[in-house]
């Protein structure tokens, strides 16, 4: 069913400021603005790389307002592309998985998915001319109480093959869980993990927010391009090697991107923690 990650959705109470941040730092292109009735939100859609970012600003009561009441700006949902949106809807109907269809998108909440804290929006897969300085989003991180149970449910709902899933563990960041890869030869996946301890940023976030989406990851062929822009435009709002060769990995802090913690890895490097390090291409 799932072709890959094609977008993320963020809630914000300052959509204009968030648009400016994405354009300034990542060269994002504003492609349309409208309203999403099912969320009670005004929406601005940006293209960055070949992916899209939907900025949702609450307009009255609705899920967007509920999310903004917990955090003024935050990662609201992961967007998954499907080869045939009508077939995906029919499959959900046949299995009695509740969903909402709104403007050629299918929305699912964690309650309907059986995966607390995870919101998903399905869209028709399409080719897009890239914009800006990213490649594409390939991961979102989902925090939960039982990552193994969440991964099993993801496989069932989205018809994924668990043979492609990989265990993941980090003492440095304080979590263990599962990389639910959608395809054996692509990095696109949902990372569903359980934080441990409260001395790490992820654990503190989980203690405050409970089951929720935490961050997103994107690829970039030449990470030095982004590093140069961060050094110039947001020198205090990122983490990574500030000198030397292009970094394998860096993190853009939420303050710089309207509430999103964004990891950026050089092309193919994420295979190094995804079970197949032999797929990592040498750095240019």
Condensed to tens digits (0 to 9), the pLDDT of residues 7-21 reads 999 999 999 999 999
Residue with tokens 């979102």: 140
Rounded distance, CA 213 to CA 224, Å? 28
> What order do you get walking across the sheet with 136-143 strand by strand?
166-170, 175-181, 189-195, 136-143, 212-220, 262-266, 249-252, 238-239
> Rounded to two decimals, what is the model's pTM?
0.95
The predicted structure's pLDDT at residue 72: 56
CATH 3.10.180.10 intervals, the chain: 2-124, 136-279
Joined tokens for residue 132: 């800006």
The pLDDT value recorded for residue 171 is 94
Q: What mean pLDDT comes out for the span 123-144?
A: 96
Look at residue 69 and tell me whether its pLDDT is greater than 90: no
How far is it, in rounded angstroms, from Cα 253 to Cα 18? 13
Region for 216 from its dihedrals, namely left if φ exceeds 0, alpha if ψ lies in -120 to 50, beta otherwise: beta
Sign of CA dihedral 150, 153, 158, 162: positive
- Average the pLDDT over 116-139 and give the result: 96
Count of other CB atoms within 10 angstroms of residue 282? 5
- E-assigned strand segments in 63-152: 74-82, 100-101, 105-108, 120-124, 136-143
103: pLDDT strictly greater than 90: no
Q: Residue 117: which of 140, 92, 89 has the closest Cα?
A: 140
Q: Is the pLDDT at 209 greater than 70, yes or no?
A: yes
What is residue 168's predicted lDDT score, i.e. its pLDDT? 97
**According to the model, what pLDDT value does residue 73 have?**
56
Burial class (CB in 10 A: 0-12, 13-18, 19+), 209: middle
pLDDT confidence of residue 71: 64
Query: What's the confidence (pLDDT) of residue 274?
Result: 95
Query: Is residue 42 classed as helix, strand or coil in its secondary structure?
Result: strand
* CATH fold of 2-124: 2,3-Dihydroxybiphenyl 1,2-Dioxygenase; domain 1 (3.10.180)
pLDDT, averaged across the chain: 94
5, 46, 122, 131 from 284: Cα distances, Å: 26, 29, 35, 22
Which residue did the predictor score with more confidence, 103 or 80? Answer: 80
DSSP state of 270: G
Q: What is the largest CA-CA distance in the chain?
A: 54
pLDDT in tens, 170-207: 999 999 999 999 999 999 999 999 999 888 999 999 99
pLDDT at 64: 86
Q: Residue 264: which pLDDT band, with cuts at 50, 70 and 90?
A: very high
- 194-201 long-range contacts (CB < 8 A, ≥24 apart) are 194/143, 194/144, 194/145, 194/146, 194/147, 195/143, 199/174, 200/173, 200/174, 201/173
Domain 136-279 of CATH type 3.40.50.620 = no
């Amino acid at each position: 069913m799932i072709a890959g990650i094609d977008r993320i959705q963020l809630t914000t109470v300052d959509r204009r400021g968030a648009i400016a941040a994405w354009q300034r730092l990542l060269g994002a292109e504003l492609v349309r603005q409208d309203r999403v009735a099912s969320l009670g939100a005004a929406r601005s859609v940006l293209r960055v790389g070949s992916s899209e970012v939907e900025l949702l600003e609450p307009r009255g009561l609705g899920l967007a307002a509920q999310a903004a009441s917990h955090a003024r700006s935050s990662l609201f949902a992961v967007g998954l592309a499907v080869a045939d949106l009508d077939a995906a809807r029919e499959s959900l109907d046949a299995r009695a998985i509740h969903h909402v269809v709104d403007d050629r998108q299918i929305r699912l909440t964690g309650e309907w998915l059986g995966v607390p804290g995870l919101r998903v929006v399905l869209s028709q897969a399409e080719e897009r001319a890239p914009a800006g300085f990213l490649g594409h989003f390939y991961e979102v991180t989902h925090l939960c109480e039982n990552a193994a149970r969440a991964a099993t449910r993801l496989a069932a709902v989205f018809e994924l093959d668990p043979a492609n899933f990989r265990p993941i563990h980090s003492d440095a960041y304080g979590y263990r869980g599962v990389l639910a890869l959608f395809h054996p030869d692509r990095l696109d996946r949902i990372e569903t993990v359980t934080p441990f301890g409260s001395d790490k940023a992820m654990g503190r976030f989980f203690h405050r927010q409970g089951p929720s989406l935490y961050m997103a990851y994107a690829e970039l062929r030449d990470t030095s391009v982004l590093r140069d822009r961060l050094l110039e435009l947001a020198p205090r709002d990122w983490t990574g090697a500030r000198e030397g060769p292009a970094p394998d990995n860096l993190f853009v802090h939420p303050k710089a991107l309207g509430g999103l913690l964004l990891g950026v890895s050089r092309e193919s490097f994420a295979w190094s923690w995804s079970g197949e390090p032999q797929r990592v291409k040498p750095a240019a």
